[in-house]
């Protein structure tokens, strides 16, 4: 039995759902998201003793995941996109029509960002990292995060104009 197993098991159980959510936003596909998190967790396992000592496991796994996604795209030059169907996940309220349009539009728009732009959007606006934290995660400068964010938002405005026009549920009714 691997001595690192119990701690690692607990880490996987606790953090996999959150990692999968970020990975899904990065890849747009359930299976690709699973592959991404699986690989990142595998690498985390290899470095587990060191990471456990520093208490830095989740940051390492996330960093690994983002780097893998950006570099995988660069090597393969494949365009991945969200599937056409929109499943209603647990906990999702029945959407107001505008919210459904926004979700559809945003899914499509995300798939048309460059991998780095998509990574920056997820880091900044889903993982809620600061610019400095996002820069650290991607291994780039804060200036790059700023410029990639600006470019990503510009493209999202074009591709998903609904972002600027959705009513707040309850307020606009």
Partner 1 sequence: MTEIDNLRRGLGEIATEVDAVDLRERALATSHRIRVRRTVATAVAGLAVAAVALSTAVAVGTDRSPEPAIEPAPSPTVLPTERQGGEADLGPFKSATITVPSWGAAADATCAKGRVSLTGGQYYRDAAHRPVNVLSYVAADVDHDGAEDYVAHLMCGEGPEAGGRQIVAFRRDGQELEPIGRVVGTQDGFAMMDHLEARDGGRVAVLVSREYTDGGQNTVPNQWRTYAWQDGRFRQVDGPTTFPARPPVALLSVVPSALSFQRQGDGLTGRLTVTVRNDGAVDVARLELLLILPGQVRPAGGDWGGCATRPGSDQTALVCTVPGPRARSRISVPFTFVAAGKPVSIDDPVNLGNHYLQVSQAPPFDGQVTIVDPEVVIPITVP
Q: What residues from 112 to 141 belong to the interface with partner 1 (CB under 8 A)?
A: 112, 114, 121-122, 125-126, 139, 141
Mind giving me the DSSP string for the chain? Answer: --TTHHHHHHHHHHHHHHHHHHHHHHHSSHHHHHHHHHHHHHHHHHTHHHHHHHT-HHHHHHHHHHHHHHHHHHHH-------S-----TTPPPPPHHHHHHHHHHHHHHHTS-HHHHHHHHHHHTS---HHHHHHHHTS-HHHHHHHHHHHHHHHHHH-GGGGTPPPTTT--
Give least dist CB 70 to partner 1, A.
8
Residues in 9-38 that interact with partner 1 by CB under 8 A: 9, 12-13, 16-17, 20-25, 30, 33-34, 37-38
Q: Which of residues 57-116 bind partner 1 (CB under 8 A)?
A: 63-64, 67-68, 70-71, 74-75, 77, 82, 86-87, 89-92, 95, 99, 102-103, 106-107, 110, 112, 114
Applying CB under 8 A, which of residues 6, 14, 46, 49 lies at the interface with partner 1? 46
């Amino acid at each position: 039995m691997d001595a690192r197993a119990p701690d690692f098991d607990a880490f996987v159980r606790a953090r996999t759902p959150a990692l999968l959510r970020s990975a899904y936003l990065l890849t747009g596909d359930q299976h690709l998201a699973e592959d991404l998190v699986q690989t990142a967790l595998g690498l985390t396992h290899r470095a587990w003793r060191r990471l456990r000592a520093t208490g830095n496991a989740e940051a390492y796994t996330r960093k690994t995941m983002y780097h893998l996604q950006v570099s995988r795209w660069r090597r393969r030059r494949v365009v991945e996109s969200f599937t056409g169907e929109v499943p209603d996940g647990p906990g999702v309220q029945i959407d107001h029509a505008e919210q459904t349009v926004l979700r559809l539009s945003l899914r499509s728009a995300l798939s048309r960002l460059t991998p780095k732009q998509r990574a920056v959007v997820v880091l900044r606006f889903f993982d809620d990292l600061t610019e400095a934290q996002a820069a650290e995660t991607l291994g780039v400068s804060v200036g790059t995060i700023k410029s990639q964010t600006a470019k990503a938002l510009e493209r999202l405005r074009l591709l998903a104009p609904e972002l600027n026009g959705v009513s707040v549920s309850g307020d606009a009714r």
